[in-house]
Amino acid sequence: MTAEALEPSPSGAATEPILSLRGIQKSFGAVHVLRGVDLDVRRGQVTALVGDNGAGKSTLIKGIAGIHGFDDGDYLFEGKPVTVHGPRDANALGIEVVYQDLALCDNLDVVHNMFLGRELGNVAALDEDAMEARARETLDGLSVRTLQSVRTSVASLSGGQRQTVAIARAVLWNSKLVVLDEPTAALGVAQTEQVLRLVRRLADNGLAVILISHNLNDVFEVADDIAVLYLGSMVAQVKRADVTSNQVVELITSGRFGDMGLSAQAAAQVEEDQ
């Protein structure tokens, strides 16, 4: 009942995957959410994670982020099996997640938000200068030039700028893998473009990026790799260049397309289980 016909890993995979999941299982009570998921994420690449509502995308990334553990399966980070018991463990490995609601404090400025909960300085005094300088450095490194001042309060920023701040916060900590949950969901056309460019830049700077999105236009614009979840199974992880948008839609909605994805029996089986 698990995916039996996973596409071979992208042929141009020169680097070892930074994150490898093998046979991940997760149930909430009687609901079997993840059914043996395999996933490879590489440095310098944007791996898009797509799937319909309820396919298990959120469960998968929450497991990666350590918010809840997986029931079974291997979690390899930089080739070594690791156990992630909480968000702190994930952060320590260099994994940062940018959630859809961004989790920013509107009443604080950009610098304060980027260092929220991890301020520089000692008990007696914050080191504002160091924080401000490093915030600027990080934003400059991402070629973010839409922020006039890092001392403006986040409330005054547009949706795209807020997303930018949240992403910059995620890369501030020498992170290696950044997970972005629907970063463009609430944005207009120009801002979506701006955020997608930033996502691409993260990968070009050598980070591994997992991008969750419902929007296949976005996915085809920035992703190197597309991983399709269908009812808790990873039905395909393919290179973007190897597929068309229609094929991906078919994979998302029915779990198979031609020789990609689940076999006919497996698809029927999964559907039956639901």
Contacts with another protein by CB under 8 A lie at 87-88, 99, 102-108, 112, 116-119, 121, 123-126, 128-129, 132-133, 136, 139-140, 143-153, 155-158, 160-161, 190-191, 193-194, 197, 201
What gap in Å lies between CA 195 and CA 187, rounded to an integer? 9
16 vs 106 by CB, closer to another protein: 106
**Kind and range of the H or E element at 23?**
strand 19-28
CB of 221 to another protein, least distance (A): 15
**Closest to 112 (Cα-Cα) out of 125, 99, 126:** 126
In 101-258, DSSP assigns E strands to: 177-181, 208-212, 225-230, 233-239, 256-257
CB of 92 to another protein, least distance (A): 12
192 vs 233 by CB, closer to another protein: 192
73 vs 94 by CB, closer to another protein: 94
CB of 141 to another protein, least distance (A): 9
CB of 71 to another protein, least distance (A): 24
Q: Which residues contact 93 (CB under 8 A, 6 or more apart)?
A: 77, 82, 84, 176, 177
CA torsion sign, 109 to 113 to 115 to 121? positive
59 vs 163 by CB, closer to another protein: 163
